[in-house]
Structure 1
Amino acid sequence: MRKQNSMVAYLLIGIGFYYLLEQLSIPFLEPLTTWPSLLIIFGISLLIHSYLKRDYDKLFPSILALGFGIHYHALTLYPNWLDHWSVYAVILGIAFLLRYQKTKTGLYPGLFLLLIGLFMIISLTNNPFSDSVDVLIKVLEDYWPVGLIVFGVYLLFKKR
């Protein structure tokens, strides 16, 4: 019975701290009483539960909730924080890779998403590399249906 209630206990403790901070109205902790904090609390609760109970299936959603919560907090607290789709790809890639570390599933999607996200973040700077990436992205945007057709034909004729 105790194992079933541990995740709920972690969630209740975290939510209790959240509402206590909100009631105390401490001025320098005021930015922490927003909805991204609830995502962070949920993510940390799942993360603690998954590691302590060795229930590693909950690693993926815990990292997603924690990563998105940190990202949304950073968007409000830091004016120069990057708000681009590539940040979500990096968070998803990290979630896949941390799950892979314990369950041995999700290595390739994790590496793919992480590399694509980091590649796009690097390409957002103003340098010659980003100019060449812009040209490549424009070509991919124009001709991605051709890639789907080629991949579909490959799947039809590959040896089983």
Structure 2
Amino acid sequence: MNEQRVFPGIILIGFGLYFFFQQSAILWVKPYLGWPALLLITGIAFIAQGYKNDGNGILSGVVLTGFGIHFYVIDYLGWWANDTGVFILIIALGFLVQHQKTGSGLFHGILFLVIAAVTLFYNTVKGWFGAFESIWQFWPLILIAAGGYLLFVKKGNGRPSKK
């Protein structure tokens, strides 16, 4: 099968089934035909394309699929968190799956995983600081400073950039 035909093929089949089921009289499938289904279909198409080719599309595929699943299960699973950390965790999983296929994205995946863990378990992490708990309120500023350092100071050779 031609690798360039995987994505559009899955999109056409998936959207075709989606619209077919919308018009059909099959009642048990109707609750699953919301917009998260379109995220799932598109995400699965990206994942299939990425695994068939060089890995491009795996990250976006995992993110779209993960968001689609999240929006479905949030109403059905009482233990499922509806928190910003869940979205960051899904992005982390996307980078880690991409790394599994391509060998790139491990640092990004771990970075997002750490941020997701801090976000999801904020009160627990905050409690670890004990007497220094008031300093913990500045952790977003630490993220901003680290990002600024990576963007504007650090270069590949280890020396600060010159303007």
- TM-score by structure 2 length? 0.75
**Within 1, Cα distance between the matches of 2:149 and 2:57?**
33
Count of aligned pairs between the two proteins: 153
Shift of 1:113: 0.5
CA contact (8 A) 1:123 1:133 kept: no
| Equivalent in the alignment of 1:4 | 4
2:127 maps to what in 1? 132
Q: Is the 8 A contact 2:37 2:68 kept in 1?
A: yes
Alignment partner, residue 15 of structure 1 = 15
Closer/same/farther in 2, CA of residues 97 and 148 from structure 1, 3 Å limit = closer
Report the structure, 1 or 2, having the larger helix content: 1
Partner in structure 1 of residue 61 of structure 2: 62
Q: Which structure 2 residues correspond to residues 95-106 of structure 1 after superposition, within 5 A? A: 95-106=94-105
Write the distance in 1 (CA, Å) between the matches of 2:78 and 2:100. 34
Q: Tell me, in whole angstroms, the C-alpha distance in 1 between the residues paired with 2:34 and 2:147.
A: 46
Distance in 2 between residues matched to 1:14 and 1:43, nearest whole Å: 11
1:113 counterpart residue number: 112
Instruction: State yes or no: 1:85 paired with 2:80.
Output: no
Q: 1:68 to 1:154 in 2, by over 3 A?
A: same
**Secondary structure in 1 aligned to 2:112?**
helix
Measure, in 2, the Cα distance between the counterparts of 1:78 and 1:49. Answer: 30
Give the equivalent residue in structure 1 for 2:41.
41
- Is residue 11–residue 41 contact of structure 1 (8 Å, CA) maintained in 2? yes
Query: Post-superposition shift, 1:62?
Result: 0.8
Given residue 90 of structure 2, which amino acid in structure 1 is its aligned partner? Answer: I
The amino acid that maps onto 2:127 is S
Aligned mates of 1:97, 1:3 — CA distance in 2: 23
Question: By how many angstroms is 1:8 displaced?
Answer: 0.9
Q: Unpaired runs of 5+ in structure 2?
A: none
Deviations 1:95-142, CA, capped at 9 Å, x for gaps: 111111121111111011112212322335xxxx3551694641324x
For the aligned residue pairs, the C-alpha RMSD in angstroms reads: 3.2
Alpha-carbon deviations, 1:40-75, whole Å to 9, x = none? 011111212222x22311111111110111111223
List gaps (5 residues or longer) in structure 1. none
Aligned identity (percent) is 25
